[in-house]
Each structure stands twice: as structure tokens, then as C-alpha cells.
Structure 1
């Protein structure tokens, strides 16, 4: 299954605390490797230096939890299961036909 994961940096501390959290997150990111059963198609960061998006694929949702939990103290996540648009269109067409 494919997923789109978005994140936003957690903030709320003082400027110094946020700086320390940023340094720690960068340190952890430098040590991080994706789970072996998690294929990352795209990993991009927002130009605001606070947000990002990952498009990935796995048959094991546990890989998603392991990844988001690793960085959870630093980021808030939204995880959305997705399909290729052609598959989505076909499903919508089939549902529409059933209603007809």
C-alpha cells in the first residue's frame, strides 16, 4: 500500500528549546535508515524548514509506526493511505455505476 505522510515541526518551547530540539532531530535523522520493508518514493522538505512530505510504500503498517514514532517528539504527522489516481478513478466510476 502507498502512503503520503506529511509532518510539521512541533513548537511551543522557547527559541533556545526549539533550537535544541532541531539539533536533536537533525542528529537522529543522520542516524536514521528506513525500515527494510519501507520503500520511499519521495522525501521532500518544505521551504519553510518546518514541514515535509514523504510518499512511500509498504505492506506492513508497522514500518510506518516505527518511522513516525522515532521522530514523534519533534514532528506532528498525518498519514494518508493512497492509490494511484487511475485506480481511484476506476473505483469511483464503479461506485457511480452501482448508484445508477
Structure 2
């Protein structure tokens, strides 16, 4: 299953706290490698450098937990299960057909 993870780095109250957060996160990230069973399709950042997205795939949701829980000390993180649009179209087509029929008296 695929998951889109969005993250935002928490900002502190002052410059020194922000510097410490950035340095700690950079150091931790330099030691990270993807967990076994985690296929990272894309790992991108916004142009400010304080948020981004990670598109991953795994058959084991605990692998996602293992990944994101390492970085929750610095980031606010959301995990969204996703599927390819090509898989959505036939389901949506069937749903539209059903809804049209169901809405008629």
C-alpha cells in the first residue's frame, strides 16, 4: 500500500531554539536509512525548506510507524493512505452509476 506522508518542521520561540532544532534534525536525518520493507518513491521539500512530502510504499503499516516516530520530535507529521488515480477511476465510475440509479424514484 502507498502512503503520502506530509511533514512540517516545528519552529521554536527564538532563533537559538530554531538553530538547535535544525542542527538536531540534520544530524538525526544523516543517520537515517529507510526501514526494511519501506520503498521511498519520492522525498521532497517545499522551497522554504520547512515542510515537505514523502511518498512511500509498504505492506506493513508498522514500518510507517517506525519511520515517522523517529522524526516526531522535530516535525508535525500526517500519514495518508493513497492509491493510484488509475485505480480510482473504475471505482468512481461505478459509484457514479450506482448513485444515479439510487437517486431515481
TM bracket (short chain): over 0.9
Structure 1 segments unaligned to the other structure (5+ residues) = none
Alignment correspondent of 1:63:
63
Question: How is 1:2-81 mapped onto 2 (pairs within 5 angstroms)?
Answer: 2-81=2-81
SS in 1 for 2:81: strand
Which protein shows a greater Rg? 2
In 1: Cα distance, 2:22 partner to 2:12 partner: 13
Per-residue CA shift, 1:11-31, capped at 9, x if unaligned? Answer: 133210111011010001000
In 1: Cα distance, 2:65 partner to 2:56 partner: 13
SS in 2 for 1:71: coil
Structure 2 segments unaligned to the other structure (5+ residues) = none
In 1: Cα distance, 2:48 partner to 2:42 partner: 18
In 2: Cα distance, 1:96 partner to 1:25 partner: 46
The TM-score normalised by the length of structure 1 is 0.94
In 2: Cα distance, 1:16 partner to 1:37 partner: 37
